[in-house]
A and B are shown apart, each in its own frame.
Chain A
Amino acid sequence: SQQGEEDPQALSIQEGENATMNCSYKTSINNLQWYRQNSGRGLVHLILIRSNEREKHSGRLRVTLDTSKKSSSLLITASRAADTASYFCVSGSARQLTFGSGTQLTVLP
C-alpha cells in the first residue's frame, strides 16, 4: 500500500514557470524525501527533510514540511524541459522506503 499521495497526479507547465507538487502522508515520520524518475536517469534522490525542519532548499528546489497536517510540498523554480519527470514523495523507515503514487510533471518548451 502507498503511504503518501501526491497532488496533482499530473501537471503541465511552460518552461520558466514554477511547479508546485503536494504530498500527504498517513503516519508519523522521521524524515520525508522526494525522488524524481525519468526515462533517462531512472529514479534519483532529490532532497531529504527531517521531521524537525520546516523548509529546505537545494538549488532550484524548495521543500516544506508540515508535520501537524502530515503534508509536504515540492517547489521547482524556473522549470526546464529536463525537469519533465515523475516526482515521488517518500516516507517510511530506513529499511523500507514507502513511495506515493507520484506527480507526472511535463515542462513544455
Chain B
Amino acid sequence: ETGVTQSPTHLIKTRGQQVTLRCSSQSGHNTVSWYQQALGQGPQFIFQYYREEENGRGNFPPRFSGLQFPNYSSELNVNALELDDSALYLCASSFGGPSSYNEQFFGPGTRLTVL
C-alpha cells in the first residue's frame, strides 16, 4: 500500500505567476483535501474533493482552484500568485466522503516560495 505522494517537493515562482501542485491519494482513498501551512502556523483548510467535485471550501479566494481525477489523484492550482501564498501545501486523502470521520493521511507537502 503506497502512501500519499506530492509533487514537486519544492517550487519557486514569482508574483503574478500561476502554479499547479499535484497529489496522488493513498490506495483505496476517494476523498482528497488540500491545506496551506504558513511558517509557524497550523495547516488551514483550502478545499476538499469527493467524486471529482469540490465539497467544501475554506476561507480562500477563487484563484485557488482544484481538480480531482477518476483515479482520485488531485491538483491544486493557484493563479496570480502573491507573496503571502508562500507556504507548505499539504494534500490529505481519506476514504468515505465528506460525512465520514475516517482518518486523513497527509502527504509530505510541497514547499512553495513566491518571490
Contact = CB atoms under 8 A, between A and B. Distances in A.
Interface of A: 1-2, 30-31, 42-45, 48, 88, 92-102
A78 B45 CA distance: 33
Interface residues of B, number: 27
10 A-B pairs with the lowest CB-CB distances in the bound complex, closest first:
A99-B42, A43-B106, A95-B56, A95-B98, A96-B45, A94-B101, A42-B108, A45-B103, A99-B43, A88-B42
B48 A95 contact: yes
B1 to A, nearest CB: 16
A101 B100 CA distance: 24
A94 B98 contact: yes
A98 B58 CA distance: 10
A98 B45 contact: yes
B98 A102 contact: no
Contacts of B77: none
B26 interface: no
A42 B41 contact: no
Interface in B64-115: 90, 92, 98-109
Contacts of A95: 33, 48, 55-56, 98-99
Given A45-B105, A96-B48, A99-B44, 11 more contacts: A1-B59, A42-B109, A88-B42, A88-B43, A94-B99, A94-B102, A95-B48, A96-B33, A97-B33, A97-B45, A102-B41
